[in-house]
């Protein structure tokens, strides 16, 4: 399984690559968003700002959107999750529009939210296999999906309840950083990648929505 991390211009991605690694997985990096599509799994990492990241993916926006809509297993982390939406208050540019809705600043006195926060698993099964009941966040903005049915987990910062995880088909977005969320976060990544491998082999996904 080739797992491609799309470098959109910021962040040390070593910890993410290490967390994704496992038997039978080739972890590669791609700066060209079009070339990143030559993969079994696409990962949009979670460090940086929306505007520059949107500009980086703009030349291949439609190809990325079509590939994800066509079933390319994709994981968006923090900023990567926000890029799956239409737009963001943080900066100019268009997201991929896989999920309809904007990204807005957290409705809280203290921003950014940095540190651990609990996860309310709306599906009752998404996090159970990994034991991920709390995760590490570093975000000033949150996604506001038009379709609440796409949300499989929530978190709350002060009075603002926002999606911790969204899913549509084989595309998943998480606002938290699983690679920084200790062993449960790594198990979450491993479980998701195993579900992708199972789906490619014609087996049912163990994580459903």
pTM reported for the whole predicted model:
0.91
Q: What is the pLDDT of residue 73?
A: 97
The yes-or-no verdict on residue 205 having pLDDT over 60 is no
Sole residue written with tokens 């084989």? 170
Q: What would the pLDDT profile of 42-54 be if each residue is shown by its tens digit? A: 999 988 899 999 9
> pLDDT grade, residue 209 (50/70/90)?
very low
**Selected residue with higher pLDDT from 7 and 127:** 7
- Residue-wise pLDDT for 166-195, tens only, equals 999 999 999 999 999 999 999 999 999 999
Residue 202 has pLDDT above 50, yes or no: no
Across residues 64-84, what is the average pLDDT? 97
Residue 164: pLDDT over 90: yes
What integer pLDDT is reported at residue 67 of this predicted model? 97
SS (H, E, C) the chain: CEEEEECCCCCCCHHHHHHHCCCCCEEEEECCCCHHHCCCEEEECCCCCHHHHHHHHHHHHHHHHHHHHCCCCEEEECHHHHHCCCEECCECCCCCCCCCCEEEECCCCCCCEEEEEECEECCCCCCCCCCCCEEEEEECEEECCCCHHHEEEEEEECCEEEEEEEEECCEEEECCEHHHCHHHHHHHHHHHHHHHHHHHCCCCCCCCC
Quote the percentage of the chain above a pLDDT of 90: 81
- Averaged pLDDT for residues 134-159: 95
Sequence-separated contacts (24+) of 202-209 with Cβ below 8 Å: 205/170, 206/129, 207/125, 207/126, 207/129, 208/123, 208/125, 209/123, 209/126, 209/152, 209/167
pLDDT recorded at residue 46: 86
Domains of the chain: residue spans and CATH: 2-200 (3.40.50.880)
Residues annotated as part of the active site? 78, 177, 179
Q: Provide the mean pLDDT of the chain.
A: 90
| pLDDT tens string 95-129 | 999 999 999 999 999 999 999 999 998 665 556 56
Report d(CA 75, CA 189) in Å as an integer.
9
CA distance 133 to 110: 23
Q: Which two tokens stand for residue 179?
A: 């690679």
The per-residue pLDDT for 126 is 59
For 190, phi then psi, to 5°, come to -65, -40
* pLDDT score recorded for residue 19: 96
């Amino acid at each position: 399984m080739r797992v491609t991390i799309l470098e959109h211009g910021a962040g040390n991605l070593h910890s993410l690559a290490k967390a994704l690694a496992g038997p039978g997985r080739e972890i590669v990096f791609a700066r060209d968003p079009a070339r990143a599509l030559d993969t079994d799994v696409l990962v949009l990492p979670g460090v940086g700002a929306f505007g520059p990241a949107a500009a980086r993916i703009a030349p291949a926006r439609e190809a990325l959107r079509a590939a994800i809509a066509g079933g390319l297993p994709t994981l968006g982390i923090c900023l990567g999750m926000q890029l799956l939406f239409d737009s963001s208050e943080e900066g100019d540019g268009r997201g991929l529009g896989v999920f309809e809705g904007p990204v807005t600043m957290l409705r809280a006195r203290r921003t950014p939210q940095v540190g651990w926060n609990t996860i309310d698993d709306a599906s009752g099964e998404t996090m159970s296999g990994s034991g991920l009941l709390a995760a590490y966040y570093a975000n000033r903005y949150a996604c506001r999906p038009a379709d609440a049915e796409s949300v499989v987990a929530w978190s709350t910062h002060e009075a603002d309840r926002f999606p911790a995880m969204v899913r549509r088909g084989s595309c998943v977005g998480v606002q938290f950083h699983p690679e920084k969320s200790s062993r449960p976060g790594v198990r979450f990544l491993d479980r998701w990648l195993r579900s992708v491998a199972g789906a490619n082999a014609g087996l049912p996904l163990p994580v459903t929505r």
